[in-house]
Structure 1
Amino acid sequence: MSASPSEPSPIDSNAMLRLVVDAAPGLMAYFEAGTMRCRFANQGYANYYGLTPSSVLNKLPWEILGQESWQAIAPHIERCLRGEYVCYTRQARSPQGTQREMEVRLTPHLEQGVLRGAVVQVRDLSLDRAVEQQQRESEERMRKFSEATQEAIVLHRNGLIIDANPALLRMTGYSLDELRGQSVINHLGPEYWLPALEAMNSGKDVSYEVTVRHKDGHLIPMELDARAMPMDQGAQDYRLVVLRDITQRHRDRAQMRFLAHHDALTGLPNRLYLTDQLQQLIASAKLHSTHVSVLCLDLDRFTTINDSLGHQAGDQVLCEVAQRLRSCVRSTDLVARAGSDEFIVVLTGGPTRAETEIITRQVTTLLEMPCHVADQQLVIATSIGIAIFPEDGDSAEALLRNAGAARNLAKDSGRNHHQFYTPELEGRASRMLNQEQLLRQAIALGGFELHYQPLVRTDNSALAGFEALVRWRHPQRGLVSPEEFVPFAESRGLITAIDRWVLRQACSQARAWHALGLPRVPVAVNMSALEFRHHNLAAEVATVLAETGLPPQLLHLELTESTLMQSDVQVQHTLRALQQLGVELAIDDFGTGYSSLAYLKRHPIHQLKIDRSFVNDIAESDDDAAIVKAIVQMAHSLRLHTVAEGVETAAQFDRLRELGCELVQGFHIAPPMAAEEARQWQTKYCHARQAQ
């Protein structure tokens, strides 16, 4: 026989009661009516007063609570002993010293009308009160936040507005009473009704851009964040919607799109937009077999305006040019600013070559009309290159490139006129690039040499110095004079390296001649106008003089009149620094520029070099003689020396001596010579003079 399953042991009811009561929330105890002694307490009650369930038994209430607390609750106890159900709250200090708010329930235990005892139930309300206080504070914070925030907040249910914060009312112009009960959808732009309904029905959190209708009817672009606020099961969720006005963001986007395709100063389309539009115009012209003309304009000597009047004046000129160009073409034509002072005009409507030339002349005439800038009247001259589709190119890139090549030819041919593109210009850009590369190689490999032309005094024919003249050893053409490559080097930013080499080489050569016992006469070096705008020119000159050992007074630097006329603060600072260094300054080709007593007086100039154009006919021309005499007298009154350039005959030499010009140079004395030839010439010349 198999063993019968064992019967479960009977449940201990007292143990179960103890377990249930200990697990119940709150404090619980039972006091006997007659003796007032504690006959039962759960774990929580005993622990609260620092006791155990066994040690609390048989204690009197005041032994557990203390006399002060007992006196406070005695009236409530008396009511319970009369058979009343009592509930009250009181402030009590726990054994740990914290102030607590307690809810006490006293339930009388009656058997057949006889009071046997009382059940005491105590619940600590402090946590509930703290939670309620936090909730009130949170609600107050949210209320203040919703009132203070610049973001609009609206609460709706089933799409009907329930509440909104002041920011929404300010943005939309409505009052809260006007909005309550209104459909949220009806206040959006029509194009957003369907997306908003779909988002609302989905119950999901969403973010997107909308437009909200103001009370006066205009639409406000806004960014919307909608969040579901779940309610009890089965109830329709509330939705909290936060709206931010993004009007400025839209304006910024529009401005960025505009600036991406337009010039910020003039408001004209830029090169990027121009190229795109020109390509579209070419595609249309191909379809209809018509022409498109491209005019590439460049303002002549625009840097002079910037340098003399300032960049603000230059900006005014650019804006004036932009306005004039827009006014002289049709609305269907395109005007763009492609660079610093470069403008492009695209003529549409199939203009012929003759019609294009007429419009170009009109543009030139309009631009030449005087304009007032910085209290001065200016005349704007421009060089224009023209390329026509389809003859001169079948793409935007080709037309712009060829119009630019024609413009460059117009500038090189004297400026202030226009030039049509011709096939002969095709290789011009390549030739220019090749020349630039050759010059760069010459700089890197030392492909230059100096020739020296002597200066002598007119009163005793004594040697007075040398002018160093640079030559380029061209790989195909041999020696090339500076007139052929210096302007090109300046335009390509190469002149600084060349000038620095010339300066060092001339100083070294002069010092070497002096070491050989030859006359200690100065050497003159021509410097580009760009060099005087460099803040470190004086320092570099000082370094070269120190390294070569040439005394500063034996170095003369020559500059042009235009450099002084266009001088800025940096040029003036450089000239003063060179003067303090002891280097003398000479104005080259004097009389061909903007001669002015003002700048001669203002700047530390030591010498004027009279241009050869006044010397050529000086022996026969009374007018030229009068000009030279005036220059000499003016120079003497300012304590300046004069040098006549290009003296080729004895008659010229004698006439200059009669007019008081102190120094001369030219083929009558000697041509420019290589260094060794110049050394030999000095030796012979000095011996010849000693023999006289």
Structure 2
Amino acid sequence: MTHALAYERITALYAITADHQSAMDEKFSALLDLGRQTFELDFASIAHIADDTYEVLAVSPDNGLLMPGTCLPLRRTYCSRTIASPEPVGFDRATGSDWESHPCFREFRLEAYLGARILVDDVPWGTLSFSSRERVDHPHPEEDFLFIKLMAQWIGHELEQGIHDDKVARLNEAQKMLEIQAALARANEISQSIVHAIGEGVVGVEDVAPHRIRFLNPAAQELFGVREGEVIDQPLAAIIRRFPDAPGQTECLLSRLVHGQTFECMISTPGREMPFPAQFVSSHTLDESGLIVLTVQDVTSRWEAEEQLRLAEQVFEYSPEAILVTDGDGTILRVNPAFTLITGYPPEDAIGRNPRILRSDRHDEAFYREMWRSLADEDHWHGEIWDRRKNGETYPKWLCINAVRLAQGNTRYVALFADISERKAHEERIDYLARHDALTGLANRRLLEDRFAKLLAAARRSDEGVALMLIDLDRFKQVNDSLGHQVGDQLLVEVARRLNVSVRAGDTVARLGGDEFVVLLAGIESHRDVVPVAEKIQAALVQAVHTPMHLLHTSPSIGVSLFPGDGGDLDSLLQAADIAMYQVKAAGRNAWMFFESRMNDEVRIRHRLETDLRLALERGEFQLHYQPQFDVDGDEVIAWEALLRWQHPLHGWIEPADFIPVAEDIGLILPLGEWVLEAACREAVKWTDQRYGNERVAVNVSARQLEQGDLAGIVARILRETGLAPGRLELELTESALMSNTPRVQQTLRDLKALGVHLTLDDFGTGYSSLAYLSTFTVDRLKIDRSFMRDIENKPNNAAIILAVVALAKALGMEVVAEGVETLQQRAFLVGSGCLKAQGFLYARPMPAGSVAAFMPARQ
């Protein structure tokens, strides 16, 4: 080999070994490439040999035959001879050695080989080898053995240096690990202190199911209501359950925990009675223990706060009251939907503006100054205020304003208000109804008292009088009972209207109830000032009232009292007017009368009469007298009329005209009339039993009895109980009782006729109704009133009426009976006119029941 070639090899080797930037494996690869080129062999490898194992560390080229990491038994390689030789080993066909018998030749068919052992710290470590499958016929020169030995020595040096560096590194690493472990120990101590001191619950669990508990800090023990010793090594589910715990819920919760998810949910735990919301944060530790650390916090307070916020938002959005929020300068920041609904301003028209856009100009600046003073001093103001909607309409509202002082020092004003238009209208309506009569709209007793108090005060200041008129409608109850309350209400409304137009502007008209009205007149100096008003009211109320179905007639009975003469307060004046009004009724109704002091005595007498009258029926003080009805010639008794008499224990006999109206007023006429009917029927049966005769008995029936609706049933019961034949009972009805002509009255008359009872129209010709009812009501006879018989010789009109009644009765197929016949001349007129039946003193006076027994045989 020339010196130039040797120099080139050394220079190439030096370039590789002097490279301190490249890694060892990169330099080994370059070295192998250099050797293959130098020795003209195909394969190169560096192998570590230990325990008869050949382990490849580096190869060139990477042809898949041998790869780094490949391990072979040492005996199967040519390197088994190389590792044992201190000098490089080489062979080829030129050497003529026995290499062909080696297992490596048989397995890999290597034709040439050159190798040297690598010493590390003077100990054989491995081999550097080059080989080829191509036939080589020349032997390796001496220079090749020297150069491969030099290369192996450098590799050994590099390995020694690497091993040394590795030891140093491991020493350094060990030192660092010791330092790290010490630091970790210190950190662990600090962490343990922090975990125990931290306010949040910390739980350590295994990362595999069932996630057994390894530790709990004091906060977690308190949170779950357990002690650490009670739950160590227990599954995590022993202290944490999802609430509500539907199937799979708790397992899902634990799965999310161990996978490092952060979330919140409701949980239950054995150590606490009530479920609570908890926040979970989980993380893995840095070591390989598989420990999972859970941070648990009771977030009840935050949930409640958030719930309050959500609730507040819901209240804000859905409150029926308007809500407005402004800053400290009054600029509107936010409004709710109710604000828009009430004011008409949508948010975009209100936000950024001042609430002055709502002002109605009904309040002066002093009002608003007081409002702001209250807000400044008390942070609150509330009251009623009038505002204006966007469309210009003003309306009342109830407003509450609160000043909210924020932590940053800012102020917010929150206003809540409600439209109280309907409420105020309702209150006004309630106040109106509390002071006015619901039916007529007139003042009621309460308003009457207020008005009277004011009139009385003014009268005392001006030394003037006040008149009180108490007005009661005549026959109103008859209208109400017979035609119904609806018709009665129509009549009352019309009366109220007529009263209002009949008085002066400053006077008061009130309704006390039923058909009682009051008129207050101010500025009265004498009785004369009341007369025109009383006459005007009377004239207005006697006019017929037209309703859709009826023509109604009524009249007023008016009592008048004066302040100060008749009383000094409202109750006294009402009492005095009431007394005068009853005097009007007693005198015949349809009139007005001033109160007089003597009327008090009359009232006391009437009151005593009412009291005695109520007791008279119980005490048996009533008796029936009977007056016979004859044929006009007086030869035959055809009937007996039962006449009621009252024998007072102190005052003796009291005439029916004196107590019958009182009985009607106090409601005693119905039981009294039933008693009369039963007593008369029993007496008539007794006459038959004693063979006095079978004449009819006639009983008067009042309008109240006819309108009660059950008169036919009462009559049927009495006939059944007494045994009187229906044909022997005659009921005398007055024209006034038939005036209403209601379906109830018509049905009652039909039912009575069906029983077989006789019906007589009493006092015919004295009523106010039309004769048309004669074709409607089937009556058997007409009874001419005694007023037409009186002085008939000198009153041709009376005679003409009697002749007309007799002709009418004959035309309708009815009998006629004349009552009040007292003279022979009257009887002669009746005979001449064709009236064949009569009753009166000319024939017989009324007699007690006991006298009938003596009368009948005498007549016979």
Q: What is the TM-score of this pair, normalised by structure 1?
A: 0.75
Aligned to 1:356: 530
Aligned to 1:537: 711
Residue pairs, 1:211-290, within 5 angstroms: 211-215=386-390, 219-223=394-398, 242-290=416-464
Correspondence 1:477 to 2:651: yes
Asked whether the equivalents of residues 764 and 784 of structure 2 are also in contact (C-alpha less than 8 Å), the reply is: yes
Aligned to 1:7: none
Cα 1:640–1:44 change in 2 (3 A) is farther
Select which of 174, 181, 195 maps to 2:345: 174
Correspondence 1:438 to 2:609: no
Select which of 606, 621, 624 maps to 1:450: 624
Q: Distance in 1 between matches of 2:190 and 2:208?
A: 20
Asked whether the equivalents of residues 482 and 744 of structure 2 are also in contact (C-alpha less than 8 Å), the reply is: no
Select which of 812, 837, 844 maps to 1:670: 844
Deviation at 1:334, TM superposition (A): 2.9
Select which of 517, 530, 536 maps to 2:691: 517
Q: Distance in 2 between matches of 1:536 and 1:525?
A: 17
Aligned to 2:678: 504
Aligned to 1:567: 741
Asked whether the equivalents of residues 647 and 664 of structure 1 are also in contact (C-alpha less than 8 Å), the reply is: yes
Q: Distance in 2 between matches of 1:289 and 1:95?
A: 94
Deviations 1:622-665, CA, capped at 9 Å, x for gaps = 75455334333433443433322122234544543554435322
Deviation at 1:674, TM superposition (A): 0.5
Deviation at 1:549, TM superposition (A): 2.3
Cα 1:12–1:669 change in 2 (3 A) is farther
Cα 1:513–1:328 change in 2 (3 A) is closer
Q: Distance in 2 between matches of 1:442 and 1:247?
A: 61
Aligned to 1:162: 333
3-state DSSP of counterpart to 1:532: helix
Select which of 332, 342, 349 maps to 2:506: 332
Q: Distance in 1 between matches of 2:499 and 2:285?
A: 105
Aligned to 1:49: 210
Correspondence 1:96 to 2:251: yes
Aligned to 1:36: none
Asked whether the equivalents of residues 100 and 124 of structure 1 are also in contact (C-alpha less than 8 Å), the reply is: no
Cα 1:600–1:578 change in 2 (3 A) is same
Q: Distance in 2 between matches of 1:564 and 1:124?
A: 100
3-state DSSP of counterpart to 2:733: strand
Cα 1:605–1:193 change in 2 (3 A) is farther
Residue pairs, 1:70-81, within 5 angstroms: none
User: Percent of aligned positions with the same letter in both sequences?
Assistant: 35
Deviation at 1:621, TM superposition (A): 6.7
Q: Distance in 2 between matches of 1:632 and 1:547?
A: 37
What residue identity is the alignment partner of 2:210? Y
Cα 1:359–1:563 change in 2 (3 A) is closer
Aligned to 2:16: none
Cα 1:48–1:157 change in 2 (3 A) is farther
Asked whether the equivalents of residues 285 and 293 of structure 2 are also in contact (C-alpha less than 8 Å), the reply is: no
Q: Distance in 1 between matches of 2:210 and 2:484?
A: 90
Asked whether the equivalents of residues 321 and 417 of structure 2 are also in contact (C-alpha less than 8 Å), the reply is: yes
Cα 1:609–1:595 change in 2 (3 A) is farther
3-state DSSP of counterpart to 2:767: coil
Deviations 1:67-115, CA, capped at 9 Å, x for gaps = xxxxxxxxxxxxxxxxxxxxxxxxxx87835685854587795xxxxxx
3-state DSSP of counterpart to 1:49: coil
What residue identity is the alignment partner of 1:172? T
Cα 1:675–1:622 change in 2 (3 A) is same
What residue identity is the alignment partner of 1:154? L
Asked whether the equivalents of residues 205 and 213 of structure 2 are also in contact (C-alpha less than 8 Å), the reply is: no
Asked whether the equivalents of residues 207 and 290 of structure 2 are also in contact (C-alpha less than 8 Å), the reply is: no
More off after superposition, 617-626 vs 470-479: 617-626
Q: Distance in 2 between matches of 1:48 and 1:156?
A: 57
More off after superposition, 277-286 vs 551-560: 277-286
Deviations 1:139-187, CA, capped at 9 Å, x for gaps = 5x87677555543233456565432222211211222234335566985
Q: Distance in 1 between matches of 2:662 and 2:285?
A: 117
Cα 1:143–1:638 change in 2 (3 A) is farther
Q: Distance in 1 between matches of 2:332 and 2:292?
A: 47
Q: Distance in 2 between matches of 1:45 and 1:235?
A: 51
More off after superposition, 601-610 vs 459-468: 459-468
Cα 1:673–1:216 change in 2 (3 A) is same
More off after superposition, 603-612 vs 463-472: 603-612
Asked whether the equivalents of residues 780 and 814 of structure 2 are also in contact (C-alpha less than 8 Å), the reply is: yes
3-state DSSP of counterpart to 2:333: strand
More off after superposition, 646-655 vs 598-607: 646-655
Q: Distance in 2 between matches of 1:192 and 1:543?
A: 81
Deviation at 1:557, TM superposition (A): 1.8
More off after superposition, 179-188 vs 355-364: 179-188
Deviation at 1:490, TM superposition (A): 0.8
3-state DSSP of counterpart to 2:523: coil
What residue identity is the alignment partner of 1:348? A
Deviation at 1:601, TM superposition (A): 2.5
3-state DSSP of counterpart to 1:293: strand
Q: Distance in 2 between matches of 1:12 and 1:103?
A: 26
What residue identity is the alignment partner of 1:163? R
Deviation at 1:508, TM superposition (A): 1.8
Count of aligned positions: 617
Residue pairs, 1:117-156, within 5 angstroms: 139=310, 150-156=320-326
RMSD: 4.4
Q: Distance in 1 between matches of 2:332 and 2:196?
A: 50
Correspondence 1:587 to 2:761: yes
Asked whether the equivalents of residues 396 and 419 of structure 2 are also in contact (C-alpha less than 8 Å), the reply is: yes
Cα 1:562–1:330 change in 2 (3 A) is closer
What residue identity is the alignment partner of 1:444? E
Q: From the CA coordinates, give the structure whose radius of gyration is larger.
A: 2
Asked whether the equivalents of residues 275 and 397 of structure 1 are also in contact (C-alpha less than 8 Å), the reply is: no
3-state DSSP of counterpart to 1:614: helix
Residue pairs, 1:374-393, within 5 angstroms: 374=548, 381-393=555-567
Residue pairs, 1:541-690, within 5 angstroms: 541-594=715-768, 596-616=770-790, 624-657=798-831, 659-685=833-859, 688=860
Q: Distance in 1 between matches of 2:317 and 2:445?
A: 49
Which fold has the larger relative contact order, with Cα–Cα distance below 8 Å and residues 6 or more apart in sequence?
1
Residue pairs, 1:339-418, within 5 angstroms: 339-365=513-539, 372-374=546-548, 381-418=555-592
Deviation at 1:226, TM superposition (A): 6.8
What residue identity is the alignment partner of 1:49? P
Cα 1:183–1:47 change in 2 (3 A) is farther
Q: Distance in 2 between matches of 1:451 and 1:309?
A: 35
Q: Distance in 2 between matches of 1:52 and 1:261?
A: 80
Q: Distance in 2 between matches of 1:368 and 1:463?
A: 44
Q: Distance in 1 between matches of 2:198 and 2:251?
A: 22
Cα 1:328–1:515 change in 2 (3 A) is closer
3-state DSSP of counterpart to 2:593: strand
Q: Distance in 2 between matches of 1:283 and 1:94?
A: 83
Correspondence 1:424 to 2:424: no
Q: Distance in 1 between matches of 2:856 and 2:208?
A: 122
Cα 1:628–1:44 change in 2 (3 A) is farther
What residue identity is the alignment partner of 1:96? E
Q: Is there any run of 5+ residues in structure 2 with no aligned partner, and where?
A: 1-184, 216-234, 236-247, 262-281
Deviation at 1:506, TM superposition (A): 1.2
Q: What is the TM-score of this pair, normalised by structure 2?
A: 0.62
Cα 1:462–1:175 change in 2 (3 A) is same
Deviations 1:329-367, CA, capped at 9 Å, x for gaps = 443333333343333333323433333334444444555
